[in-house]
């Protein structure tokens, strides 16, 4: 169980967190991957992207339990027994999952009965795996029943992540499903921007909760769901402080990100190009929080720019001016290879201050989390990095 971090004051390093060993916690989870000629990083581009972790109090005892997803093994549920000790109750809880490649996990009281449920996103180009997402409804006795098909959210796309939130403020939780494209990167004709064409196989989806059944309202709500969407992050927050939740979607590769502003009538307006002057190129994770205590939520998006000169030269891809203009002219907007810290100006615009704040280059960065680590009243940024070394890199660092 990793819970260790340090704060560098400039003079000395003071530990803020304590690492709890697996022998103490009882948690011993390894996302073990085994490749063969049919299924590997060359046949599935997200092979080494990892799996998700979710926290929730599943027995309402006031202690947070932990759910781990696995790509090729069984998902795991650990019951918090107090004093940082956990018990593996996966088998008796019935939440191991039946799919071959689980990715993200979302914890929420999906049916509003007062008990936390588990929604598992499944993906992976695995032969014979049907990929449907799974919904484990809490029975209130530390057992769960899988009911995704019954609730209408057994999505078959390459689902990366999902977010439950009440977008229409009717008192129940709706669902945003973030999907990654099926199509190979090199197969696209970038001159034909098909952002507005819905993908029948995948594509992002907004699912409205209609009482223990979810209805796909993506098209009527103004949500893009095309084959060029390579979603890796979905972040929900009240961007314009009008009391209604908005959505930011981080897209990998050539497609730009999306900023959906809630119009308070069941629809959204996608207006990233109206509010931001530049964005990350291959956007990964993102988080919304007020970093300067002015009352407006700001946005941090991770990319994959190293800080050191040696790492930049060995792992960073640079685009020439013609390629950059090609993307701009075909509707993919102003994208750059670096993290972006978007400062909310409170007037429907953002100022990108990543380089000014010194957070533009944090290596092969995927996850982002903003919180006050040292309880000094100011939000800090935690970045989770992914692959250290590219498979095709021949230089040993």
State which H helix or E strand residue 279 sits in: strand 279-280
pLDDT at 397 over 50: no
Q: Are 69 and 104 in contact (CB under 8 A)?
A: yes
More confident residue, 133 or 5: 133
More confident residue, 267 or 44: 267
pLDDT at 184 over 90: no
* Region 223-231 average pLDDT: 95
pLDDT at 260 over 80: yes
CA pair distance 192, 255, nearest whole angstrom = 12
CA pair distance 70, 92, nearest whole angstrom = 18
Q: DSSP for 75-104?
A: -EEEEEEETTEEEE-HHHHT-S-SSS-EEE
Residues 136-169 as b/e (b if ≥16 CB within 10 A, e otherwise) read bbbeeebebebbbeebbbbbebbbbbbbbbebbe
Helix (H, G, I), strand (E, B), or coil: what is residue 36? Answer: coil
- Mean pLDDT for the chain overall: 92
* Region 345-356 average pLDDT: 98
pLDDT number for residue 392: 59
CA pair distance 24, 338, nearest whole angstrom = 39
Q: Are 204 and 249 in contact (CB under 8 A)?
A: yes
Closest CA to 119 of 152, 82, 72: 152
pLDDT number for residue 210: 97
Confidence of residue 146 (pLDDT cuts 50, 70, 90): very high
pLDDT number for residue 8: 55
pLDDT at 394 over 70: no
Residue positions counted in the chain: 397
CA pair distance 65, 87, nearest whole angstrom = 9
Confidence of residue 391 (pLDDT cuts 50, 70, 90): low
Residue-wise pLDDT for 287-312, tens only, equals 999 999 999 999 999 999 999 998 88
Residue-wise pLDDT for 63-91, tens only, equals 999 999 999 999 999 999 999 999 999 99
Task: Spell out the residues 6+ positions from residue 265 whose beta carbon is closer than 8 angstroms to its own.
Answer: none
CA pair distance 348, 324, nearest whole angstrom = 26
Q: Are 373 and 7 in contact (CB under 8 A)?
A: yes
Helix (H, G, I), strand (E, B), or coil: what is residue 235? Answer: strand
* Region 3-7 average pLDDT: 48
Q: DSSP for 109-135?
A: -TTSSSS-EEEEEE----TT-----EE
pLDDT at 214 over 80: yes
Query: Which of 1-5, 203-207, 327-331 has the weakest average pLDDT?
Result: 1-5
pLDDT at 125 over 90: no
SS3 content of the chain, % helix, strand, coil (to 5): 10, 30, 60
* Region 4-12 average pLDDT: 55
pLDDT at 377 over 80: yes
Please report, for residues 3, 21, 70, 87, 219, the alpha-carbon distance to residue 25 in angstroms, rounded to integers and kept in the order given: 11, 6, 19, 8, 46
Confidence of residue 45 (pLDDT cuts 50, 70, 90): confident
pLDDT at 258 over 50: yes
pLDDT number for residue 4: 46
pLDDT number for residue 115: 98
* Region 206-227 average pLDDT: 97
pLDDT number for residue 273: 98
pLDDT at 13 over 80: no
pLDDT number for residue 23: 95
Q: Are 330 and 390 in contact (CB under 8 A)?
A: no
Q: Are 273 and 261 in contact (CB under 8 A)?
A: no
């Amino acid at each position: 169980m990793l819970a260790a971090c340090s704060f560098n004051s400039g003079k000395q390093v003071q530990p803020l967190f304590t690492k709890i060993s697996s022998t103490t916690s009882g948690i011993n989870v390894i996302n073990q991957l085994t490749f063969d000629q049919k299924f590997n990083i060359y046949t599935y581009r997200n092979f080494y992207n990892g799996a998700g972790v979710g926290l929730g109090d599943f027995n309402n005892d006031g202690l947070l339990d932990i759910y781990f997803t696995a790509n090729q093994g069984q998902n795991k549920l650990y019951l918090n027994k107090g004093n940082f000790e956990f018990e593996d109750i996966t088998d008796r809880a019935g939440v191991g999952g039946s799919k071959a490649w689980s990715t993200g996990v979302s914890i929420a009281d999906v049916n509003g009965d007062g008990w936390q449920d588990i929604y598992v996103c499944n993906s992976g180009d695995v032969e014979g795996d049907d990929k449907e997402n799974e919904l484990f409804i809490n029975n209130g006795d530390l057992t769960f029943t899988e009911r995704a098909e019954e609730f209408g959210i057994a999505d078959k796309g390459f689902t990366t992540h999902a977010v439950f939130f009440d977008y229409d403020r009717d008192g129940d939780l709706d669902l945003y499903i973030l999907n990654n494209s099926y199509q190979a990167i090199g197969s696209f004709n970038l001159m034909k921007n098909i952002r507005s064409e819905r993908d029948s196989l995948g594509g992002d989806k907004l699912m409205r909760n209609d009482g223990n059944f979810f209805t796909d309202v993506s098209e009527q709500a103004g949500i893009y769901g095309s084959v060029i969407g390579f979603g890796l992050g979905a972040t929900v927050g009240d961007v314009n402080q009008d009391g209604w939740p908005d959505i930011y979607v981080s897209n990998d590769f050539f497609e730009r990100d999306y900023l959906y502003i809630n119009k308070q009538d069941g629809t959204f307006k996608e207006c990233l190009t109206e509010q931001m002057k530049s964005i990350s190129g291959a956007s990964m994770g993102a988080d919304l929080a007020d970093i300067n205590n002015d009352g407006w939520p700001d946005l941090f998006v991770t990319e994959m720019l190293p800080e050191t000169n040696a790492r930049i030269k060995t792992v960073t891809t640079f685009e020439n001016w013609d390629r950059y203009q090609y993307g701009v002219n075909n509707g993919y907007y102003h994208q750059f290879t670096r993290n972006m810290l978007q400062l909310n100006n409170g007037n429907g615009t953002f100022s990108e201050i990543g380089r000014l704040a010194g957070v533009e280059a944090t290596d092969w960065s995927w996850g982002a989390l903003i919180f006050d680590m040292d309880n000094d009243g100011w939000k800090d940024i935690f970045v989770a990095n992914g692959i250290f070394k590219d498979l095709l890199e021949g230089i040993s660092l």
